[in-house]
Amino acid sequence: MSFSSSPANSTNANLIQPTASSAVSLSHVSKIFGRFAALRDLSTEFAAGKLYAILGDNGAGKTTLLRAMVGLAPPTRGSITVLGTPDLRAATAEIGYIAHPSLLYEDMSGMENLRYFAALYGIRDDRPCQHAIHAVGLDPALTRRVGQYSQGMRQRLSLARALVHDPKILFLDEPFSNVDVVSAREMVHVLAHMRDLGKTVFIVTHQAALLQGVADEFVCMAAGQISARTRDLPVAQERGAPPASTRV
């Protein structure tokens, strides 16, 4: 695997140049589907080593933003720089991603899934898989197929899949949805630990309360733009984030 860093794709003076310690920076990013603009001229920077909670109503553009940063939905306009390179394909080895669907094969066991995805990142060894599956609190000896897992177990395995190659940045899209309270709290614990290890973590969620005291910053989105960035959850809620939900 070679990570060739291609030159920045524009020398436009309006381009926001990323600072050295930024994990992700966006410069005038717009994402347009047909006539609908999911992201509108978004320009911002996210520093490395922090845990960001991305909040907002449905349709605010949270998932689109995440997918754009991961490289699944290239922006219609503007550019995104991840870990210093605008070529998102080069940064893929350092990115871990959880989406709303589980991104797992139902007919394989947990470890089989992990071994396969680890192989995609060039990992031949079993140990990172064992390590990742322990980290999320699952039993590596479990031979049950993922199709028979509970939702909590499935989300944990998803997280293990995102962690197995020890990425520098984690992008999680609604990791706590339909998950029992215990699993959710444990996942938050794991994610905080990841942040403490120096990783950058982005979490899109409707359950902001789970991240209170853990998130370094709450990023509120509305109508395709970032409406507020604050360290304080109550302020974030005032500024339009959905109310803290006790339903998990």
Partner 1 sequence: MSLAEITRVSLAKDLRLEWRSKDAINSMLFFALLVVVIFSFSFDPTAEESRHIAGGLIWVAFLFAAVVALNQTWARELRNQVLDAYRVSPAPANALFISKAVGNFIFVAVLETLMAPLFMVFYNLRSIGPAYELVVVAILATWALVANGTFFAAMSIRTRSREVMLPLILFPISIPALLAMVSATTAILTGEGSARFWVVLLAVYDVVFTTVCLLLFETVLHAE
Partner 2 sequence: MRRLFVILALLTFGLLTFALYEGVVAAPTEQTMGEVQRIFYYHVPSAVTAFTLFLINFVVSIIYLARRSPRADALAVSTAEVGVVFCTVVLVTGPLWARPVWGIWWTWDARLTSTLLLWLIYVSYLILRRYSTSGQTPVIAAVLAVFGFLDVPFVYLANRLFRTQHPQPVYFGGPGSGADPRMTFALLMNMAAFFAFAALVCGCAFAWSAPGRTLKKLRPWKLCCCRM
- State yes or no: residue 71 binds partner 1 (CB under 8 A): yes
From the list 105, 166, 186, 209, which residue makes contact with partner 1 (rule: CB under 8 A)? 105
From the list 8, 16, 48, 73, which residue makes contact with partner 2 (rule: CB under 8 A)? 73
Tokens representing 185 are 């709290």
Residues of this chain, 28-67, that bind partner 1 according to CB under 8 A: none
Q: Which does 222 bind (CB under 5 to 8 A by kind): partner 2, partner 1, none?
A: none
Q: Residues 195-224: x/- map of binding to partner 2 (CB under 8 A)?
A: ------------------------------
CA dist., res. 74 & res. 88, Å (int): 9
Q: Under a CB-based contact definition with an 8 Å cutoff, are residues 136 and 98 in contact?
A: no
- State yes or no: residue 35 binds partner 2 (CB under 8 A): yes
| Angle subtended at Cα 202 by Cα 198 and Cα 203, rounded to the nearest 5 degrees | 130
Q: Under a CB-based contact definition with an 8 Å cutoff, are residues 236 and 230 in contact?
A: yes
Q: Report the nearest approach of partner 2 to the CB of residue 33 (Å).
A: 6
CA dist., res. 167 & res. 132, Å (int): 12
Task: Give the sign of the dihedral formed by CA 131, CA 137, CA 141, CA 144.
Answer: negative
CA dist., res. 214 & res. 248, Å (int): 17
From the list 62, 161, 195, 206, which residue makes contact with partner 1 (rule: CB under 8 A)? 161
Nearer residue to partner 1 within complex by CB, 104 or 138: 104
Beta-bridge mates of residue 171 = 97, 202
- Laid out side by side, the sheet with 77-82 consists of 36-47, 22-33, 77-82
- State yes or no: residue 104 binds partner 1 (CB under 8 A): yes
The count of other CB atoms within 10 Å of the CB of residue 79 is 19
- State yes or no: residue 3 binds partner 2 (CB under 8 A): no
Nearer residue to partner 2 within complex by CB, 73 or 214: 73
Output the furthest CA–CA distance in the chain (Å, rounded). 56
Q: Which residue has the tokens 């039993």?
A: 139
- State yes or no: residue 93 binds partner 1 (CB under 8 A): yes
- State yes or no: residue 190 binds partner 2 (CB under 8 A): no
Q: Report the nearest approach of partner 1 to the CB of residue 143 (Å).
A: 12
Binding site for partner 2 (CB under 8 A): 33, 35, 73
Binding site for partner 1 (CB under 8 A): 1, 3, 70-74, 89, 92-93, 95, 97, 99, 101-108, 112, 116-117, 119-122, 124, 145, 161
